[in-house]
């Protein structure tokens, strides 16, 4: 599909500098720009590329003032926020490649399941009884939807996802390949012989609207009640969310984060990759946890934490500076011991 600079500027409410009739039919990074493509510049770090790019159109901030001559065949579209506007175009571009509606064969859909309008169900998918799939849902191949599951409108589920019985997924969510929603929580109790006895996990997982869940994420069902993933939460690949965890609105976590059972994560919390959070604690709204940190106790007020156990980041930096000097300090201690010994003799 082709778009002119004039059309793009109309979508973005931008100002054209150059040829309004120039046509593009693809997107490119500014450092890899080629004729017929649309690119953008928002980070000054990449400004040098705009003076040599072969892209036909480039979206820039209104504050952008070229320090050199830009290519004569490059048309600029000036907007308030180049990054946000390019993201809007990426979404439009992505919508061009949406799956067709309909049910592919072979697949199994229970007679007691409900499938809404304009849905797509990929081949080899299994939809159990009493499942409710609302309008405009896309389910890619090899997906399992358990009994009494609800998938609300506009949600997209990629291949090889498993949603266990009784779980609920909100509107406009994205669940990537390999994710498992509603597997049993890690509940075991040792008996008098020291053998582990499984505790039945009879709760579910409730995912609210506009949540995105990365590939190979596991979200355990609650022992009783629900594990909650609230509105707007973003979970990267390979994360583990244990039973009865509650992740509040608009929080985000990077890959390989692990959250132990019954912990409560506040609103707008940011968690770096490979961080671990112990069970039965609370993390205050707006808290930031640096990658590979360990949080063993409740965080009562918003702060940036780093290290294991996590401490305020400025304290961690001071401690680390001292840690780096340990070899020097140990050497000094040894020298002082030798001097004391010689003086004693």
Summarised one tens digit per residue, pLDDT across range 229-247 is 999 999 999 999 999 999 9
CB 48 within 8 A of CB 68: no
Owner of token pair 């509105």: 231
pLDDT at 139 over 70: yes
Q: 243 catalytic, yes or no?
A: yes
Residue-range domains of the chain with CATH: 3-95 (3.40.1390.10), 102-316 (2.160.10.10)
pLDDT at 100 over 80: no
List all residues 6 or more positions away from 253 whose beta carbon is below 8 Å from its beta carbon: 234, 235, 236, 239, 259, 270, 271, 275
Signed CA dihedral, 92, 94, 96, 100: sign only: negative
Q: Which has the minimum average pLDDT: 124-138, 183-197, 259-273?
A: 183-197
pTM of the model: 0.84
CB 43 within 8 A of CB 60: no
Measured CA to CA, the distance from residue 315 to residue 149 in angstroms comes to: 47
What is the structure's pLDDT at 98?
64
Measured CA to CA, the distance from residue 285 to residue 268 in angstroms comes to: 6
Choice among 165, 176, 243, 280 that is catalytic: 243
pLDDT at 128 over 90: yes
Q: How confident is the model at residue 99 (pLDDT cuts 50, 70, 90)?
A: low
**DSSP letters of 280-301?**
S-EE-TT-EE-TT-EE-S-B-S
Q: How confident is the model at residue 342 (pLDDT cuts 50, 70, 90)?
A: confident
């Amino acid at each position: 599909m082709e778009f002119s600079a004039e059309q793009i500027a109309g979508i973005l409410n931008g100002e054209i500098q150059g040829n309004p009739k120039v046509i593009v039919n693809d997107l490119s990074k500014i450092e890899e720009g080629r004729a017929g493509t649309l690119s953008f510049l928002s980070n000054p770090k990449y400004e040098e590329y705009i003076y040599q790019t072969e892209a036909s159109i480039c979206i820039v901030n209104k504050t952008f003032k070229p320090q050199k001559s830009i290519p004569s065949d490059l048309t600029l579209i000036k907007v308030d926020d180049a990054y946000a506007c390019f993201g809007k175009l990426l979404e439009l571009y992505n919508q061009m490649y949406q799956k067709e509606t309909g049910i592919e064969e072979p697949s199994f859909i229970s007679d007691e399941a409900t499938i809404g309008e304009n849905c797509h169900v990929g081949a080899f998918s299994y939809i159990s009884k009493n499942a409710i799939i609302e309008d405009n849902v896309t389910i890619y191949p090899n997906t399992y939807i358990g009994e009494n599951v609800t998938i609300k409108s506009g949600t997209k589920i990629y291949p090889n996802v498993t949603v266990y019985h009784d779980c609920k997924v909100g509107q406009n969510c994205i669940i990537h390949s390999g994710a498992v929603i509603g597997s049993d929580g890690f509940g075991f109790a040792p008996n008098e012989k020291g053998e582990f006895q499984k505790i039945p996990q009879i709760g579910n997982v409730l995912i609210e609207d506009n949540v995105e869940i990365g590939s190979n994420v596991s979200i355990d069902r609650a022992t009783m009640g629900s594990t909650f993933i609230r509105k707007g939460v973003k979970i990267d690949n390979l994360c583990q969310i244990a039973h009865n965890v509650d992740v509040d609105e608009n929080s985000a976590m990077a890959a390989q984060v692990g959250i132990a059972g019954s912990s409560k994560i506040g609103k707008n919390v940011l968690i770096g990759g490979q961080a671990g959070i112990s069970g039965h604690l609370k993390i205050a709204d707006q808290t930031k946890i640096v990658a590979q940190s360990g949080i063993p106790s409740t965080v009562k007020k918003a702060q940036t934490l780093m290290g294991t156990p996590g401490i305020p980041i400025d304290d961690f930096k001071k401690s680390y500076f001292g840690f780096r000097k340990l070899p020097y300090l140990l050497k000094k201690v040894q020298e002082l011991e030798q001097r004391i010994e010689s003086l004693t003799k």
